[in-house]
Every structure is written in C-alpha cells, then in structure tokens.
Amino acid sequence: MAIIGSNILYAQRLLEASGAVAVPTETVYGLAANAYDEAAVLKIFDIKQRPSFDPLIVHTSSLEQIEKFVKKLPEKALKLAYRFWPGPLTLVLEKKMTIPNVVTSGLSSVAVRVPQHALILQLLRQLDFPLAAPSANPFGYISPTTPQHVQQQLGTQIPYILDGGACTVGIESTIVGFEVGKPIIYRLGGVCLEDIERTVGPVRISHQGGNSPQAPGMLANHYAPKKPLVVGEMPVLLAQHATQQVGILVFQQPCPDIALDRQVILAPTGNLNEASQNLFAALRTLDVLPIDVILATFVPNTGIGRAINDRLKKAATHLVDY
C-alpha cells in the first residue's frame, strides 16, 4: 500500500525520479507527475486506466509561471486568473512546445490551474517543473476527496499520498476555454457560473458530448459509483423502487421512511458549499452499503449547486422526472 504522510520533500524526490504521487488540492486529490517528463506522464494514464484521448490539467504555483506553457493569455483569461487563482478554476489556453503532447492528448491547447492548497503550492514552488495531474481515481469513478479514498483504489500502485486532509471544495475545478476570445465553460465546478459572469460577463456553457468531447468530464457515466444511481423526486423514486433495498442521498432533510443508516444528508444546514464538500464521500459511503440502488435528489440549482447537479446527472444511470 502507499505511505500516507505530509513530507513534501519526500514527494518532491519521488516526482524528480519520474514517480507518480497523489497530492491534495482544494477540489479533489490529484495523481501527479512531472508534466515535462513523458514517461512519468504515461504512468498516470496507466495507473488510472485512462484513455489516451483524455488530456490532463497542468498545475503550477503562480500566474507568472504559465507563460512557460501557454502562447498567449486572452484578456478575459487574465481577468479570471487574477480573480480566482489560486483556486478551483482551470483555463484552457494555446500551448507552447514545452508541454509534451501526451499531456494534452495531442491537442494544441493545454489546461492549466493554480490550486489553492498550502501543501501542493509549497511542493510546486520547490519543483522546477509543473505537475500534470488528473483526479486520483480509476477512470470513470468518483473523484477522491481524502487520502483514504486514494489509498482504497490506487494504494497498491503508487508509493506515496501527500496528506492534506479532506478537500475543502470537494468538487473538481471549473474549466473555462476561449473560442474566438469568448469564454466558454467546458465543465462546471468549484468556481460558480455567477462568479465567473460577474468577472467577464455572460458565458456560454458547452454541452458537447460524444466520444472525444472538449472535456471528457462531460461524458455520460463519468464520476459514477458502481451501484446504479437514480436521480429525481424522492417520493417518486421510493415508489418506483419499493421492492428493492435502497440507499438515499438527500440535500437537507432526512427521509422519514428510510432507516438513518441507509441515508446520507449532504448539508443539514442547507449550505451548498457543505453539500459539495460532502458529495463524493457520500456517494462512496452509499456505494458500499448492502443495497441494490442509490436514490438521490438534486440540490438547489444555483451557485455551486449547479456543479453538484451536473455531477449527479453524470453519475446517474438514469434520471426520473428531471
């Protein structure tokens, strides 16, 4: 199994020797490797069983660093970077040759992000290369938000998990690209739509799908637990699944008809940030209960609630009454 610890220097040594190391960020844990080192990057794809067409995010310690990897920064990209970095925002920009094609799956753009977590920021400052890092989960499964989540799934394949505690945002970064200078959201995430629009004006949300989407985070059945997950109105869902063993995921109020050990309440106070922090751990908890199906309700579709609902939709085997 992997060692779980908070030794930044040890993580640095492993990364300098072409290793893959799990690292904390404010969104989810990442599986990191030297972005300049093709062999190291290939290890990430191998460990995650990730298809080579799905490009990685490059993490760096400051806005100043990104001129090493990107050709130009549209004005609105700069505004977003100033406003939200370090933070849960990823910008897709035209890449320089410094970033190998394996990182970007051959695309001419690269996704870059300055994460907001003291440990990874310190690690990045000590390294003389950026870190390519996808979420540290097997491809298609729920992203990890604690070191233990990483250990459970990738522990036998990696030497070290840098322990930064539970992720405070709990949901992946918002991905923003630029099409003829206009911002477009490829994936909803930790920075909400309202905050992005307050910074750069109206923004389009891409709904592109298919086998090679702009952001494969948009693929159906991504972020999914192993148990079937159905999302909709709880009374309807309960009636439809009356003959099955169910576990339920609710936003604020417990469901009176279901045993408390078969339900997870995302945010008893109704706070959407608390809900996003708890979402992936809740799905993991439900996934290992002795149940046939997970039933879930959507949360209020505002602020980070949009990103939560987006993940529920992608994790769902089907939706009812949506």
Would you give the binding string for ligand TXA spanning residues 173-212, x where CB under 6 A is met?
x-x----------x--------------------------
CB of 26 to ligand TXA, least distance (A): 8
Find where tokens 């469901």 sit: 255
The verdict on 74 binding ligand TXA (CB under 6 A) reads no
Burial label for 15, CB within 10 Å (0-12, 13-18, 19+), is buried
Nearer to ligand TXA among residue 25 and residue 151 (C-beta): 25
- Least distance to Mg ion, CB of residue 269, Å: 28
Number of CB atoms found within 10 A of residue 252's CB = 16
3-state secondary structure of 36: coil
The span of 132-140, 197-205, 234-242, 294-302 binding ligand TXA (CB under 6 A) equals 132-140
* Coil vs helix vs strand at 93: strand
Residue from 135, 145, 276, 297 touching Mg ion (CB under 5 A): that is 135
The answer to whether 56 contacts ligand TXA (rule: CB under 6 A) is yes
For the stretch 290-321, what's the b/e string if a residue is b when 16 or more beta carbons lie within 10 angstroms of its beta carbon? Answer: ebebbbbbbbeeebbbbbbbbbbebbbeeeee
Residue ranges of alpha helices (H) inside the chain are 8-16, 38-48, 75-84, 101-104, 118-126, 147-154, 193-200, 234-240, 272-287, 305-315
What's the order of all strands across the beta sheet hosting 263-265?
263-265, 246-250, 293-296, 229-231, 318-319
> What x-and-dash track marks residues 18-57 binding Mg ion by CB under 5 A?
----------------------------------------
Q: Which of 86, 144, 216, 247 binds ligand TXA (CB under 6 A)?
A: 216
> CB of residue 29 vs ligand TXA: minimum separation in angstroms?
7
Q: Does 276 bind ligand TXA (CB under 6 A)?
A: no
Contact 18, 34 (CB under 8 A): yes
For ligand TXA, the closer CB: 119 or 255: 119
Q: Which residues contact 232 (CB under 8 A, 6 or more apart)?
A: 295, 297, 319, 320, 321, 322
* Nearest approach, Cβ of residue 238 and ligand TXA (Å): 33
Nearer to ligand TXA, 60 or 309 (CB): 60
Q: Which residues bind Mg ion (CB under 5 A)?
A: 135
Q: Which residues bind ligand TXA (CB under 6 A)?
A: 25, 27-28, 30, 54-57, 88, 90, 92, 104, 107, 109-111, 113, 115, 133-135, 172-173, 175, 186, 214-217
